[in-house]
Amino acid sequence: MTLPKVTYLTPSSNGQVPLNDLTRQIPMRLTRCGTGPTPGPVLTYGQYFEGITDVISKDDFALIVEATGKQLTEDITASDIEEILIYAEKHGSDYHPGRIEVMVGGVCATFVMNVAVTSRGEARLCREFEVLEHLNSKYDFPFLPRTYFQGEALLPSMLMFLADWFHGYHEFHLSMDENGSRKLVLWDTEKNPRHLSRSQAWQIYHQAARILVLYYDIETFEQIFPWHHAAGDFVVKAQEKSLDVKLVTARQYAPMLERSEGVSVHEALLFFLLNLSIRMRLDRLDGVGAIAWADDDCVDATLEGFMEGLRIKQVKGFIDEGFVNSFLQYGQSIAKEDLSYRFHALINACDQAAPDIPVIKEHLERHVSKFHLVLQDLRDS
């Protein structure tokens, strides 16, 4: 049997370049850019790539062969694979994702290998793998990556799992333009970063809100949370006349409120929407800078996306016929002062040391007014 060639590539000022004897010895950054050094393990690029290769090459590459066959929807063997390219992509506080391209007959299957090297990162990685598997079996929606397998490299210890890479999708972040206005910028690494139009920004927030409500469980109150634009959790493919958003991670899936406390289905969903409307507006400038707050258009887009998601859930039978209208009536019956009370209770229940909190509090009253206004104008249609 002919086993595939494996090639390693690392980021440089000239793009991705092949690993060499010098870069093989360079320690990888194990924190987000700008957060400074932290105590813990040292991992070189050579160790990182070799650890991933140890996992995917077991049993003559059986696991990556199976994953490739599933993604390409065809039966293949290890001999059919011409080359496997592994790219070191980015570094977060917990994960160090690598992109894996598997070349088969001129076609490329693309995956992400999420890698954790700290005890905290490994615990979160195991939980996320379970959450993604659960959600992909519970819902037939195409917005989360499909998972394939978990693996572990021992020297040094690296826990990892393989999932789909959303090819052609990129992060987006709020940024200041030359006139001092906040605009969304698409981090398109192929065509260079570019500003998105107001309508494109509206579509992104709309689709992101729709995705989150689609995965919200009306009965158990379970939801995907936490998520954050600053972490690049949502990605977008922006073409000339279309735009598509996906969610690359689901760290937890749990209720914000407990049914046992006597909270109604409508009230729990309302708190989900309140939190969604705030979190959708938060980002960091250029992904790593100061906390940023999106313009009021974001509220319109979020609530419209929320309503569209509810309607889809109703059509698919996840919620009873007439639920959308009954929830809308419930929300619109609440006075602005009572909405404000709920917003403040929500924020007061958060970690007050979180860097988002001062920004949220600064904008909260205006946000409540905008939210109330948009909610009153929503229609079940």
What pLDDT is recorded for position 73? 94
What pLDDT is recorded for position 23? 85
Burial status of residue 244 (CB atoms within 10 A of its CB: 0-12, 13-18, 19 or more)? middle
State how far the Cα of 44 lies from the Cα of 156, in Å rounded to an integer.
10
State how far the Cα of 139 lies from the Cα of 202, in Å rounded to an integer.
26
Q: Do 181 and 293 meet the contact criterion of CB atoms below 8 Å apart?
A: no
pTM metric for this prediction: 0.92
Closest C-alpha to 88, from 31, 9, 13: 9
Q: Do 302 and 277 meet the contact criterion of CB atoms below 8 Å apart?
A: yes
Q: Which CATH class is domain 5-164?
A: alpha beta
Residues 6+ away with beta carbon under 8 Å from 224:
131, 135, 212, 215, 216, 247, 250, 251, 252, 253
**pLDDT tens, position by position, for the chain (381 residues)?**
677 899 999 887 777 888 888 889 988 766 554 444 444 567 899 999 999 999 999 999 999 999 999 999 999 999 999 999 999 987 777 888 999 999 999 899 999 999 999 899 999 999 999 999 999 999 999 999 999 999 999 878 899 999 999 999 999 999 988 777 888 999 887 777 889 999 999 999 999 999 999 999 999 999 999 999 999 999 999 887 889 999 999 999 999 988 777 899 999 999 999 999 999 999 999 988 999 999 999 999 999 999 999 999 999 999 999 999 999 999 999 999 999 999 999 999 999 999 999 999 999 999 999 999 999 999 876
What pLDDT is recorded for position 191? 76
Residues of the chain with CATH 3.30.200.20: 5-164
Q: Is 82 helix (H, G, I), strand (E, B) or coil?
A: strand
Pull the structure tokens for residue 103. Answer: 């070349």
What pLDDT is recorded for position 50? 95
What pLDDT is recorded for position 220? 94
Closest C-alpha to 331, from 278, 280, 264: 264
State how far the Cα of 5 lies from the Cα of 87, in Å rounded to an integer.
14
Q: Do 230 and 282 meet the contact criterion of CB atoms below 8 Å apart?
A: yes
Q: Is 349 left (phi over 0), alpha (psi -120 to 50) or beta?
A: alpha
What pLDDT is recorded for position 320? 92
* DSSP 8-state secondary structure symbol assigned to residue 80: G
